[in-house]
Structure 1
Amino acid sequence: MSTPSDPVTRDASPVPFAGPRVSLYSDEFAADPLRAYGEMRSRYGSLVPVELAPGVPATLVVGYRAALRILNDPDHFPSDPRIWQQSVSADCPVLPVLQWRPAAPRNSGADHERYRGATTSALDGVNLHALQGVVERTAVSLINTFCSRGSADLVGEYAAPLAFEIVNAILGCPPQISRKAAAATAAIFDGVDAGEANRMFDEAVLELVRLKHTEPGDDITTRLWRDAGRFDEFEMMHQVLALYGVGMGPLPGLVINSLRLILSDDRFGEGVLGGAKSTRDAVDEVLFTDPPLPNASVTYPRHPVLIDGTWLPAHQPVVISLTGCNNDPDIGGGYRAGNRAHLAWGAGPHACPAKSLAYLIAQSAVEQLLDALPEVELAVAADELIWRPGALHRTLAELPVVFPPSPPLNIP
């Protein structure tokens, strides 16, 4: 007999969903996802038929309790996408993000434990006090490039380069390799020959991996090498690539979304600057309502599985909507001060292992900017800000601000 924590499975495939699926890649969805999640829940319940890209079906989980069941059941819901990716075209726009790699997020079982254990150990070796100093120096150096101008785009001129520099620092990436990775990253985001740009980026990361094999240091890449025989060179490259992926996507997104909240919401703008609320309060509000990875923790059922009265097809993506689940009315919905029970860091065996580092970097980056430019404000109305479309991220294309020009700061 099945129980609520034991999903029903069967060998035969259920009848495919026949109705229209909700698009997660439209501009309309990107503009107001909270409204969209509410409408999905009203129409479908906790499990929603969606498209991640044209012709790419998936199930989006917007129920908090259903999400926890799935996240804590890797036997029924493994994260290995290899069977699924055989069914999509090579030019599928979400394939580069979801495709299999020899790293913890895209593996299950013993391979996941091996990759996850090494990554966690390497991250745990980061000196948080030293990292705080790196963030502060990097932030001030970037602020100095635009503080005398009186205006800036905090996406392209602050959050993105700051996150990239911090990730390079903790990976032990020297400037000559960092410049190659930065050029490849710029080409990727500009859409200039994405295939060639990805090849350039892989080459830069491989160069870093080889360097740290012969010239070790006090950094994550060296610690990943430390267990002799644990990884081959290809696996090592993908451990580092996975960390770069976090640094170039969710991390700057968390900084930007937190700054947007503080600059557009009086509860936090006046509260943080006046001392009534902490930067951590603003960051946690974002993690509840507007996390940079709104739809993540993708799994692929080995067999058709029945959850909450809905059959989930075998090998079709099941995507946890972290934002939708955090705002599920069944658990109260919305943010409550001091409550950090959101799913933005995931749950179960694939929960984010870099949580403490991400909190430190995001909080420090926000605080440095507000301390240096206390009169900063949005250059446009909050509802005129443009969100980048996409099913798997939630971030602004730009965050234009203005402030009274000020002289450069002393770098600590």
Structure 2
Amino acid sequence: MAPLMSFRPNARHVDGEEHTRLRSVITDSLDRVDHYELRHYVEQSADTLINGFAPDGEADLMGDYSKVLPLLVFLHLFGCPADIGDRLVTGMTGLFDGVDAANANKLLRQAAMDLIAHKRERPGSDVTSWMLSHPAKLSDEEVAHQLALALGAGTEPEQNLIANALRLLLVDDRFAGDLAGGSLPVEDSLDEVLWTTYTPLANFSIHFPVQDTELDGVRMRGGEPVVISFAAANTDPMLSTGHHAGNRAHLSWSAGPHTCPAKRQARLIATVAIEKLLDRLPDLELAVPAEEIVWRPGPFHRALAALPVRFPPAAAITETVENRGACSWSNSPPAPSVSTLQAVTSTVKPSGSATSAPRRGWSFPAVWKRGR
């Protein structure tokens, strides 16, 4: 757990003027993303992924969809080549799982430095290039730490938000009924997940008291970590109202000066991902009993290992990401970038080609090439 809990010179671990300086690089760069184009790209990527399993009549919505979609979007957003993206994701997943975290930390740092070196040579219209050219003039080492923070917040928690919301739709008739009946917009439904013990980042925001202190009768020693449980805070019986649609007073995005800088983008990605899936496959149902759904162990996240579903096989749509045209991320006319990832394409399996064999693990280059 230590690598994810220890100090890093990024905006999450500092305060005051240093926090303002580092955070401004992240927020100013993210603010240059055009949200209409972002929505368009999420829809395109979602369609491509759904095309890959729609004819099968079955899928693992974690491995085939929720885990892949944020990667496609965020790595495109950051202008990250596939080989570097694979290492970034492997490193970040290792940190959250707490498995061989020391090596995962090294892998993540090296991948971030490689991305920076790549963008120094080939700057483009992407968040990484904008961070490197920001007036704050961060060093490459500083940019690497801000990149790791932004990508970490935008991939692992985001995929769990999408998957956990889809799970709730499939196991909670009340929740699904409100959504299907139009009384609960998808975006509001996300807050139901964020209020519960299924919030994607259940435990985080590690603090270290600078001296021995006592809080509510609990003795905390100076220098020893205190982990904040968002899940516990959000489900405090004194706050519970049972249904939280439209109420965004939870702590799942953190709060105050350290609130998530990509909250707006993250909500948009998750909302569009769920809307698109429900539009394309409205008759989704769990392929296993709800009690057999397996959760991934880990000290920080609330993450599904898989979300198997079945549905009536559906035809792949003919208009793919490739023939809809490329997106422009910047709110101002960007310079073309040869290094920005192009939109994914998909080779759709013919109807009836589904197999009962378990799906294999994925890697980002394979996902990119196959659209799955």
Query: How big is each residue's C-alpha offset from its partner over 1:131-170, in whole Å with a ceiling of 9 and x where there is no partner?
Result: 0011111111111111111111111111111111111011
Distance 1:238 1:185, change over 3 A: closer
Corresponding residue for residue 177 of structure 2: 270
> Is 2:30 aligned against 1:123?
yes
Query: Where do residues 303-342 of structure 1 align in structure 2 (5 Å cutoff)?
Result: 303-342=211-250
Query: How big is each residue's C-alpha offset from its partner over 1:15-68, in whole Å with a ceiling of 9 and x where there is no partner?
Result: xxxxxxxxxxxxxxxxxxxxxxxxxxxxxxxxxxxxxxxxxxxxxxxxxxxxxx
> Is 2:293 aligned against 1:360?
no
> How far is the alpha carbon of 1:193 from its aligned partner?
6.9
Query: How big is each residue's C-alpha offset from its partner over 1:253-294, in whole Å with a ceiling of 9 and x where there is no partner?
Result: 000011001111112222222323211122010010121011
Query: Where do residues 174-213 of structure 1 align in structure 2 (5 Å cutoff)?
Result: 174-175=81-82, 177-178=84-85, 181=88, 198-213=105-120
> How far is the alpha carbon of 1:313 from its aligned partner?
1.5
Corresponding residue for residue 70 of structure 2: 163
Identify the match of residue 242 of structure 1 among 140, 143, 149: 149
> How far is the alpha carbon of 1:200 from its aligned partner?
4.3
Q: Distance in 2 between matches of 1:180 and 1:380?
A: 32
Distance 1:132 1:179, change over 3 A: same
> How far is the alpha carbon of 1:315 from its aligned partner?
1.4
Identify the match of residue 291 of structure 2 among 370, 383, 408: 383
Contact 1:326 1:334 (8 Å CA) reproduced: no
> Is 2:53 aligned against 1:112?
no
Corresponding residue for residue 329 of structure 2: none
Contact 1:258 1:286 (8 Å CA) reproduced: yes
Q: Distance in 2 between matches of 1:191 and 1:349?
A: 28
Corresponding residue for residue 56 of structure 2: 149
Higher relative contact order (CA 8 A, sep 6+): 2
Query: Where do residues 40-55 of structure 1 align in structure 2 (5 Å cutoff)?
Result: none
> How far is the alpha carbon of 1:349 from its aligned partner?
2.1
> Is 2:314 aligned against 1:406?
yes
May I ask how many residue pairs the two structures share in their alignment?
A: 319
Which amino acid in the other structure matches residue 27 of structure 2?
A: T
> Is 2:239 aligned against 1:351?
no
Which amino acid in the other structure matches residue 301 of structure 1?
A: P
> How far is the alpha carbon of 1:215 from its aligned partner?
2.6
Distance 1:145 1:189, change over 3 A: farther
Identify the match of residue 300 of structure 1 among 186, 208, 214: 208
Contact 2:58 2:309 (8 Å CA) reproduced: yes
Which amino acid in the other structure matches residue 215 of structure 1?
A: R
Corresponding residue SS for 1:298 = strand
Unaligned runs of 5+ in 1: 1-93
Q: Distance in 2 between matches of 1:321 and 1:186?
A: 20
Q: Please give the root-mean-square deviation of Cα atoms over the aligned residues, in Å.
A: 2.4
Q: Distance in 1 between matches of 2:23 and 2:95?
A: 27
Q: Distance in 2 between matches of 1:129 and 1:301?
A: 43
Q: Distance in 2 between matches of 1:116 and 1:190?
A: 26
> How far is the alpha carbon of 1:113 from its aligned partner?
2.5
Contact 2:195 2:244 (8 Å CA) reproduced: no
Which amino acid in the other structure matches residue 269 of structure 1?
A: A
TM-score if structure 1 supplies the norm length?
0.72
Q: Distance in 1 between matches of 2:190 and 2:96?
A: 25
> How far is the alpha carbon of 1:306 from its aligned partner?
2.5
Q: Distance in 2 between matches of 1:262 and 1:193?
A: 34
Contact 1:299 1:318 (8 Å CA) reproduced: yes
Contact 2:169 2:176 (8 Å CA) reproduced: yes
Distance 1:125 1:388, change over 3 A: same
> How far is the alpha carbon of 1:178 from its aligned partner?
3.5
Contact 1:177 1:208 (8 Å CA) reproduced: yes
Distance 1:330 1:240, change over 3 A: same
Contact 2:97 2:299 (8 Å CA) reproduced: no
Bigger Rg, structure 1 or 2? 1
Q: Distance in 2 between matches of 1:247 and 1:147?
A: 26
Q: Distance in 1 between matches of 2:93 and 2:248?
A: 34
